[in-house]
Structure 1
Amino acid sequence: FGIGHFTNDWQETVRRDDVDLVCITTPPSLHREMTMAAIENGKHVLCEKPMAMNADEAREMTDAAKKSGVLALIDHELRFQPGRRKAHEMVREGAIGQIRHAKYHFQAPHRGDPKVEWNWWSDESQGGGALGAIVSHIIDSFQWLMGTGVSSVFCQLQTHIKERSDSAGVVRQVTTDDECLLILRFAPNELVADATGIVSVSMTEYPTYKNRVELYGTDGAIAVEHKGEVLVAEAGDTEWKAVEVPLGDAIPGVPDTGFSRGFMAFAPEIITAIRTGASEIEHAATFQDGYEIQRVLDAAKESDRSGQLVVLD
């Protein structure tokens, strides 16, 4: 990859004078410590999702970033997928009227195999699980597309594969979820009526990969498939119609998904922002966005524990 320097000491990296941007792609349990150190050393930060272990950590990180003035972003790259951008534009043009309902279906079979090794994804203390890794993207997609936040959440989490062997062959308990079901309500605004939402996420379902968002409004509907294919329907239609949208480029050597195509469009924007000294990037998720998403994730966990609907302040 042409990498000129490597180290196993992350603290050395954040202290280097020739480092402009620190990309934090570790387990979430390390995000706060690494982010705070990077900010203290004047580095711009691109932090993976979920932003932190809880909203208190996310708030601390957000406050530090605002005080320092560095570029502080969350890697919600799906915002830069051309199909998602088209849907965002169409919603604001009034193509489907006021949004009444949002639906998201994500499934991936790769953790359905019990032979998949135990790792941080299996460990609650490290921030693993589908809620943080996948539902964080989904909440961000809803809030960005609809221009509003989640006002209440009911959540049920499930762990279908309860034990896995680690790299040493030791059988260990899985303490994280591999399936998430959420019922949401959204705060109303000029784009959103009294809207509800449904989220279905599974990391164990066969046979195919799915990553689809749907928005239903007073005048029609929009759907975006996993690579960015856009479908629309007007009120009264009985079939979806395809909208011609460029899919963008995928990252060479990795699975061709909306995530890779989104990041290929996102990365040049980050480079330009750093070179020009910009304090923000249009459409990019900020630390404030990450904090708001973390509040929803915390509420979802509380709902799963209590079996009750949780209303966000």
Structure 2
Amino acid sequence: MVSNGGTNGSTTGRMGASGHAGQPGRPLRVAQIGCGQIAPQHLRAYAETPLVEAVVVMDVDPVAAQEAAAAAGGVPWTTSFDEAIRRDDVDVVSIATPHHLHAPQVVAAAEAGKHVLCEKPLTTSLEEADRMIAACRNSGVRLGMWMVMRYTSAARQARALLRAGAIGEIVNIRLPDVHDKVRDYYQRGVGGRGRPTDWRGARAASGGGALIMNAIHQIDALRFITGLEVRRVSAEWVSFTGLADVEDMINVVLKYDNGAIGTIDTANYAPGGGEAHVLRIYGSRGQLQTARGSSLKAYVEEPFAGGKGLPAIPAREWTDVPAEDMGSSRTLVLEDFARAIASGTQPPVTGEDGRASIEVVLAAYASAERGQTVALPLAVPAAALLRSP
């Protein structure tokens, strides 16, 4: 049963398949699936754009569902996934649930005729990723990803500068993403403020630790910024806290299709913390540095003339690239997804993009497990490793 979330306690429960897109002039109607720590950011994004509106929220925890419904302005709430996705007033299903639930929920939503916007990671195996992509394709619905690190000023400007040849050919990429999270992160989420849960620390449910939980955002951002594809992966991992059967720290070396080398150094537990969301791209004629997606600096050996929205950069001195006011990254993801549905085109971040990031993660885990370099593409099926680091 679906509660309307209001004071009269009445129910809606309208069921049936909706059309594949919202009506012209009407916002796309979203079912929010999962009301955990990330859900408030989704709800704010819905409220910030006229292109989308939340019409129902769902969580297996009725308290979480009721709180989210109230935050969304008193929309209906339910504890039934099936009821939420089969409402005839739902066009889009937004998935923000534990990783192991993504595949069955995306497939079910697609089969119900709903477009899907899925949180990272897409899933924890390539076999499931292919099944999700196929289900959406066969049902004629769109599958998009909440990959927000693409939607920062620094990412967009770095991408444009690279395409303009400002620093020459990319030769090396370095990305530290080191955190000192609270000790009960795996039980209570970011800051230890979430409701008790056990899925984050269980490899069978989460697929892994620091890399799949956090740095997968950076893997996707690197692919977007550079346009390069990973061809070989080697990695070493460690779990020293004894708090979960997933990695606390992992170092990953990437070999790209143009010959460049990349390194990702990520951790959930690093006493005292370290550099986080810092990216350095070394080119044959210069370097770009970003920090947390909000700032970008450039160094070039030869003057860069700029143009087409890019600033001029003098030679041989570090130059701050002015940031653009892009607004909320989640709102931008949502608006791009809504426009893609309205125009009948693919969203800017597709299920295939989500699959590409998962493939790198799985290759890193396989390398750490086997003690050898792993080549891409991986063979399918390639399930997430279930043994602890």
TM-score by length of 1: 0.84
Q: Which residue of the partner structure matches residue 247 of structure 2?
A: 177
Matches of 2:301 and 2:268 in 1, distance apart? Answer: 33
Paired residues of 1:102 and 1:216 also in contact (CA < 8 A): yes
Indicate the SS of the match to 2:77.
coil
Candidates 137, 144, 147, aligned match of 1:73 = 144
Q: Which residue of the partner structure matches residue 214 of structure 1?
A: 280
Amino acid at match of 2:362: D
Q: Which residue of the partner structure matches residue 98 of structure 1?
A: 169
Candidates 18, 21, 29, aligned match of 2:92 = 21
1:303 corresponds to 2:373: no
Q: Which residue of the partner structure matches residue 54 of structure 1?
A: 125
Amino acid at match of 1:145: I
Q: Which residue of the partner structure matches residue 305 of structure 2?
A: none
Post-superposition offset of 1:216: 1.0
Going from structure 1 to structure 2, the CA distance change for 1:8 and 1:197 (only over 3 Å counts) comes to: same
Post-superposition offset of 1:227: 4.0
Matches of 2:198 and 2:326 in 1, distance apart? Answer: 32
**CA RMSD in angstroms, aligned pairs only:** 2.1
Amino acid at match of 2:269: T
Q: Which has the larger radius of gyration?
A: 2
Q: Which residue of the partner structure matches residue 134 of structure 1?
A: 214
Candidates 292, 297, 308, aligned match of 1:226 = 292
Matches of 1:293 and 1:89 in 2, distance apart? Answer: 21
Going from structure 1 to structure 2, the CA distance change for 1:161 and 1:240 (only over 3 Å counts) comes to: farther
Paired residues of 1:21 and 1:44 also in contact (CA < 8 A): yes
- CA deviations 1:249-288 (Å, max 9, x no partner) are 3xxxxxxxxxxx42132222223333x243223xx32111
1:286 corresponds to 2:350: yes
Q: Which residue of the partner structure matches residue 252 of structure 1?
A: none
Paired residues of 1:81 and 1:265 also in contact (CA < 8 A): no
Q: Which residue of the partner structure matches residue 119 of structure 1?
A: 198
Structure having the higher strand fraction is 1
Q: Which residue of the partner structure matches residue 195 of structure 1?
A: 260
Q: Which has the larger displacement, 42-51 or 139-148?
A: 139-148
Going from structure 1 to structure 2, the CA distance change for 1:63 and 1:116 (only over 3 Å counts) comes to: closer
Paired residues in the alignment total 284
Paired residues of 1:157 and 1:179 also in contact (CA < 8 A): yes
Indicate the SS of the match to 1:230.
strand
Post-superposition offset of 1:197: 0.4
Q: Which residue of the partner structure matches residue 236 of structure 2?
A: 156
Amino acid at match of 1:64: A
Amino acid at match of 1:262: S
- CA deviations 1:135-164 (Å, max 9, x no partner) are 32122112111212110001112213213x
1:143 corresponds to 2:223: yes
Structure 2: 5+ residue stretches without partners = 1-70, 189-196, 303-314, 378-389
Q: Which residue of the partner structure matches residue 263 of structure 1?
A: 330
Indicate the SS of the match to 1:4.
coil
Matches of 1:160 and 1:22 in 2, distance apart? Answer: 38
Indicate the SS of the match to 1:45.
strand
TM-score by length of 2: 0.68
Structure 1: 5+ residue stretches without partners = 164-173, 189-193, 250-260
Paired residues of 2:178 and 2:273 also in contact (CA < 8 A): no
Matched-pair identity in %: 27
Post-superposition offset of 1:77: 1.1
Matches of 2:143 and 2:186 in 1, distance apart? Answer: 37
Matches of 2:186 and 2:376 in 1, distance apart? Answer: 39
Amino acid at match of 1:32: A
Paired residues of 2:280 and 2:288 also in contact (CA < 8 A): yes
- CA deviations 1:105-158 (Å, max 9, x no partner) are 112222456896563211111115212122321221121112121100011122
- CA deviations 1:57-116 (Å, max 9, x no partner) are 111111222222312112111111122111111111111111001111112222456896
Matches of 1:156 and 1:290 in 2, distance apart? Answer: 23
